[in-house]
Copies of this chain bind each other. A is one copy, B any other.
Amino acid sequence: MDQLEIFKALSNKTRLQILNWLKDPDLNFPDQKEHANFDHGVCVGQIQIKAGLTQSTVSEYLSTLQRAGLVKSTRVGQWTYYQRNEEAFEALSKLIQTDI
């Protein structure tokens, strides 16, 4: 758990929004719901549309969140699905009570 890397990852409005959207894929990504379930999370393209930024930027942001451990990804065919890593948030919450 690299504190600094985590806080840097959280220091961006869009990345915070993405994490928030991933809390409720059903609500925030209705389009994906028609084609696939959310067992592995939400695919990059859906997140990109919602974010309104370019594909490259969103892909990079998701990598940043993953390097920080805040999300995990699953590749299925040509899609990469991202979902929150809830254990990381619990750990971060506790870390703030003890280490920071």
Contact = CB atoms under 8 A, between A and B. Distances in A.
Interface of A: 3-4, 7-8, 10-13, 16, 19-20, 89-90, 92-94, 96-97, 99-100
A94 B96 CA distance: 10
Interface on chain A toward B: helix, strand, loop, or mixed SS?
A: helix
A16 B7 CA distance: 10
Number of copies: 2
B20 A11 contact: no
Contact of A16 (B3, B10, B11, B90): B3
Nearest to A3: B16
A93 B89 contact: no
B100 A19 contact: yes
